[in-house]
Structure 1
């Protein structure tokens, strides 16, 4: 845009100056040709009579009488003595022509002579110490209603040309400015219209400016902003729907174990459990249901701290293989009670990492809980494989269940997301937060987590190697 304005203004000025130069040269040439084309008359009868009058003049004054006689012949008198004017009946134009044309230093003594100065015929004589000149009426073209000398006509021509050039420059500038403003206002108006649409809540219509200038980037940035706002609005709408679903889901998830706890405690209170074995069974079931509620509330608590950026993370040096073995030892009894078992592979070699063992334990707990709820395998087998690959430490967590529909895999780690069959699995509860928390904790450690189907659902966690990052 700046280059276009600069080029346009330069072209306007150059064109105006070129036009001024060409027109000035042509006008001055024509004026000069017109004046230089003036030729003396071939024969002027009055010139001879004027010469006789000047030759018969005696040094006794009588300028008025001589002038009247000359005027009758079409001439005017000019008299000087020692270069000082003593009488003149010349018009201002004749005086100017005489002054610029010059008077010969010496006229013939006692005998008149003729001279053509380009505009008038001069008849002069030296007599008695006086210089007498009879000048005919100038034969000059009229310029603006009157006869003018060449210099004056040229000056007036230049002034007129200058005024015309100024008018031309102003006119071209106005025309150029009009088109430039029109061109500039196109994207400005397009942006203003787009801003009004955004204010009205319409983020779908593009700015619609197809130019290639500085405004192109601005319009592209505005459209990118619109796209971002549209995505944020859709994301917020989906987020709000998910929150609504979460409230309903939490109500269901808490109600189910709470109802079981209340039922079994009521059975104990009412004596339904009449034997020690049955009472122990009731207490055990109530305890497990209370633990389920604790897990759900812990996930909600963790989610709240993640949303506020206050989830604690205290990484320390650890061996990933040893950490996995410790986790299996501490939870294999619980998994066995729920009909499952662990299989550990590839762990013996050193696998140095820097992790928060508490938070990573929560990752494995969430993955195990997800498998217990949705794998649908009898018996459930969880295979954990630890190895080093590509400069990172890897942990694969796989079950032998039914997997997840391929179209649902990209959504597994989204907050509040639940598949269509999320409540048909074992125990039926699910907050839609477990795998979201898994991804958040793993990424907080500088790692990544992915999922795919391979004879069941497989999660692969990749963590930075401590030897490479902290050596």
Structure 2
């Protein structure tokens, strides 16, 4: 090798290395936010580094004209290949990123579901212990002669009814969350479903000294599973009765939305829910009280979770918001015309 060209070659190598280093830093910076774009830029950085070194070599006239022409053609031919390779890497990186994000999301959902399952099991164990303890106390009182047998039997029957309602809630919750659950949908007038629910809940409302009101506005026909929708509306109405003080009102309205959906709203007189607790209202087992002690109505705290699941299975939604003096629970279902 001619010693005269060594300095020029060193300079060309340094320039190529510098261009490559700057390109690598740019790729790393881009990779933090756009990994796919960084993958596409990688091969182009190599071409740019070679081009920079070649440019210095040409300026120093280290290479003969024929060699310069050949290298330029090779670089020009390599650019499309670099673009194709970069595009393939970008698509692969994007797909791997999407797969990784989906896997992380799936793990988080599984972890959240397992955490909820553990909480539900713990809460249900606590709630079932209460009527069992009451039945045991009543039986012992009757056995010791402290309470009349007929009074003890009446109390035990009441606790058995509470336990039966809890078990029914648990079975419904488990069934609706089971894989492959299917709805038996048909054309239903949601207004009629709500009317039936209000009629069946009327004795409970009278016992609690709570007024039930309702109104149907417009066409309320939807293709839904009447049994599941009835259970969801019943849960909302009973929840409203349970949390409304004597003399209050629970109002249930049915209306057709502008998008063809059916909206069922239940407004109670609970006094409102703290804003920090609103996102947790539909969590299974959550009641918003530190004691976790069931009230007179019993239950496992899965009623609102069942309502949300029924809405999801129908392609609808359910939400809650505070209104003057209470809360408004809204159940939205797709109408027959929106399917």
Instruction: Please say whether Structure 1 and Structure 2 have the same fold, judged by a TM-score greater than 0.5.
Output: yes
* Counterpart among 183, 196, 202 of residue 313 in structure 1: 183
| Corresponding pairs, count | 285
1:270-300: CA deviation from partner (whole Å, max 9, x where unpaired): 55444xxx82x54443333222212222222
1:246 equivalent in alignment to 2:120: yes
The 5-angstrom pairing of residues 387-402 of structure 1 reads 387-390=255-258, 391-402=260-271
Change (3 A) 1:457 1:353: same
- Say whether residues 1:378 and 2:243 are aligned partners: no
Give the structure-2-normalised TM-score: 0.66
1:412 aligns with 2:281: yes
**Which secondary structure does the structure 2 equivalent of 1:423 belong to?**
coil
Residue equivalent to 2:32: none
Matched, 1:440 2:309: yes
Q: Secondary structure at the match of 1:413?
A: coil
Q: Distance in 2 between matches of 1:222 and 1:416?
A: 38
Partner residue in 1 for 2:198 = 328
CA shift for structure 1 position 327:
1.4
Structure 1 residues 256 and 312: CA distance shift in structure 2, 3 A: farther
Q: Going by fraction, where is helix more abundant, 1 or 2?
A: 2
Write the mapping of 1:319-358 to structure 2, written as runs, cut at 5 A: 319-337=189-207, 339-347=208-216, 350-358=219-227
Q: 2:44 maps to what in 1?
A: 4
> Which runs of structure 2 are paired with 1:188-227 in the superposition (5 Å)?
215=89, 218-219=92-93, 222=96, 226-227=100-101
Question: CA offsets, 1:226-263, max 9 Å, x none?
Answer: 55555544444443333322222111111111222333
- Once the two structures are superposed, what CA deviation does each residue of 1:105-136 show, in whole Å capped at 9, x if it has no partner? xxxxxxxxxxxxxxxxxxxxxxxxxxxxxxxx
| Contact 2:241–2:268 (8 Å) recurs in 1 | no
Post-superposition offset of 1:401: 0.9
Q: Is the 1:372–1:426 Cα contact (8 Å) retained in structure 2?
A: no
Does the Cα contact within 8 Å between 1:387 and 1:395 map onto a contact in 2? yes
Determine if the alignment matches structure 1 residue 255 to structure 2 residue 129.
yes
1:29-108 matched pairs, under 5 angstroms: none
Higher relative contact order (CA 8 A, sep 6+): 2
Higher strand content, 1 or 2: 1
Matches of 1:238 and 1:327, distance apart in 2? 33
Unaligned runs of 5+ in 1: 25-164, 185-211
Residues 316, 229 of structure 1: CA spacing in aligned structure 2 closer, same or farther, 3 A cutoff?
A: closer
Equivalents in 2 of 1:415, 1:214: separation in Å?
Answer: 46
Distance 1:285 1:312 in 2: 39
Give yes or no for contact 2:270–2:327 (8 Å, CA) kept in 1.
Answer: yes
Deviations 1:116-165 (A, max 9, x none): xxxxxxxxxxxxxxxxxxxxxxxxxxxxxxxxxxxxxxxxxxxxxxxxx5
- Structure 2 vs 1, CA of residues 328 and 409 (structure 1 numbering), >3 Å: closer, same or farther? same
- Contact persistence 1:322–1:347 (CA under 8 A): no
TM-score (norm: length of structure 1): 0.50
Give the drift of 1:379. Answer: 4.1
For the residue of structure 2 that corresponds to 1:382, the secondary structure is strand
Where does structure 2 lack aligned partners over 5 or more consecutive residues? 1-39
Counterparts of 1:319 and 1:251 in 2: how far apart (Å)? Answer: 39
* Cα distance in structure 2, aligned partners of 1:322 and 1:259: 40
Question: Equivalent residue of 1:402, what SS?
Answer: coil
8 Å Cα contact 1:422-1:428 kept in structure 2: no
> For residues 241 and 393 of structure 1, do their structure 2 counterparts lie closer, same or farther at Cα, with a shift above 3 Å needed?
closer
Partner of 1:294: 164
In the alignment, the residues of structure 2 paired with residue 362 and residue 419 of structure 1 have an alpha-carbon distance, to the nearest angstrom, of 22
